[in-house]
Amino acid sequence: MDNRQHIVANINEIYRRESRRVLATLIRLLRDFDLAEEALHDAFIAALAKWPLEGVPQNPRAWLVSTGRFKAIDHLRRRALFNKSLAGIAEELESAVSDSEEWFNDSIEDDQLKLIFTCCHPSLSIEAQLALTLREVCGLTTEEIARAFLATPPTIAQRIVRAKNKIRDAAIPYEIPAQHELPARLNAVLHTIYLLFNEGYSASSGDLLTRQHLTQEAIRLGRLLIELIPQSEVLGLLGLMLVQDSRTTARMDSEGNLLTLEQQNRSLWNRLQIAEASQFIQRALTMGGFGVYSVQAAIAAVHAEATNYADTDWPEIIGLYDLLLRMSPSPVIELNRAVALAMRDGAEAGLQVIDAISARGELQDYYLLHAARADFYRQLGQLDAARSSYQQALALTQQEPERRFLREKIARLSA
């Protein structure tokens, strides 16, 4: 690989790791989503042109933000030839933050959190909040978001456009709200960080099982949020993310194939991270006001405490799932409980729960329901039914490691 190829590969890695953080800062500086997205694009085009000749700057993110900002101002000035009002906006943006000021300081680390609070403003519908956040903070494509919502891409695109227009027209401030406003916005922000982590922990589509830059960003935002709001659910969510992330190196074999919780080498789990998570979880459960994230974290902690899969305290996990169902009834939680129930009482017990969920017409497009049903059928020796359910699961997942995992299951049944 020559020097140019090496730098281009480096730029691609910087884009993957830093682009959403650069975008968040550009939105703060430019106060316009679309202008910031165009500026981000222009900044990386400039990097591709200059960095192979001049070298990668010492602080790539600062360079990209500064370049993007000036590209946006130049763009507004060109458009001002046809719309005089834009000239004033360009001058205002240029004078608002001068290069002599320390505009790129520690506060920039809060920009993504500010962006999440902006996207989760209560004047936006929940659907708009989630779609806009997944697009702007997580960097998911419209098609990926549409799959998550079981909607069409044009519907999601319109939802995102309307949300951006609402933020612009209502002059919703790009900021972390005042302390007294935080509780009302907290649930939406926690849900957003949770979605960000989940997309990183198990990518919705593509060739990779994980998008680790997203899981690390979610954990970083969780730590920032604790400094603002040290409440039980914030602690619980951070504990949950840390426990789940502690298994990262054990979730795939050397060839990138998916390993289940039962198959994982637990000596590879990050025990220091699990210990830190346990402290957050214990604090969350003892300080009162805990909710679904804290209980999910407690379930993850029980798994982490077991020396192997068979020694897992399944009665404890079932009890926690019962609590979770009372707090937040959900067919997905029922499905997860069914897996624990099967470990305690046998596959037939788990299969009965799944059949009850299906009888209500729920989770028919959720591949994990069909995968769990297939596992239960396989354990019961009903191999044709197992093969059919694995095939249904395979048809519903877009992630390649999961598809390989399911194809291998089907091949083993055929053998």
pLDDT at 86: 53
205, β-bridge pairs: 398
147 neighbors 205 (Cβ within 8 angstroms): yes
Instruction: Write the DSSP assignment of 291-332 as a string of letters.
Output: -HHHHHHHHHHHHHH-SSSTTS-HHHHHHHHHHHHHHS--HH
Over the stretch 69-115, which tens digit does the pLDDT of each residue have? 888 888 777 766 555 555 555 555 555 554 444 444 445 557 888 88
pLDDT at 108: 52
pLDDT attached to residue 103:
46
415 residues of the chain, pLDDT tens digit each: 577 788 888 888 889 888 888 998 888 888 888 888 999 999 999 999 999 888 888 889 889 998 998 888 887 777 665 555 555 555 555 555 544 444 444 455 578 888 888 888 888 888 898 889 888 887 888 887 887 676 788 999 999 999 999 998 888 888 888 878 887 788 888 988 898 899 889 887 778 888 888 899 899 889 988 988 889 999 999 999 999 999 999 999 988 889 999 999 999 999 999 999 999 999 999 988 889 999 999 999 999 999 999 899 999 999 999 999 999 999 999 999 999 999 999 999 999 999 999 999 999 989 999 999 999 999 999 999 999 999 999 999 988 999 999 999 999 988 7
Q: Write the DSSP symbol of residue 252.
A: B
Amino acid at 175: E
Looking at residue 69, its amino acid is R
d(CA 135, CA 258): 27
Q: Are 270 and 241 in contact (CB under 8 A)?
A: no
pLDDT given at position 107: 52
**pLDDT tens for residues 357-408?**
999 999 998 999 999 999 999 999 999 999 999 999 999 998 899 999 999 9
Q: Is the separation of the CB atoms in 176 and 109 below 8 Å?
A: no
d(CA 9, CA 403): 28
Which helix (DSSP H) or strand (DSSP E) does residue 399 occupy? strand 398-399
Q: For residues 154 and 382, give the distance between their C-alpha atoms in angstroms, rounded to a whole number.
A: 42
Q: Could you tell me which of 231, 233, 228, 224 has the C-alpha nearest to residue 178?
A: 228
Overall CATH class of domain 4-97: mainly alpha
End-to-end alpha-carbon separation of the chain, Å?
43
Residues in the chain, overall count: 415
The answer to whether 238 and 246 are in contact (CB under 8 A) is: no
DSSP H or E segment with residue 205: strand 205-206
Domain boundaries, the chain: 4-97
> Which pLDDT does position 300 carry in this prediction?
97
| C-beta separation of 362 from 393 below 8 A | no
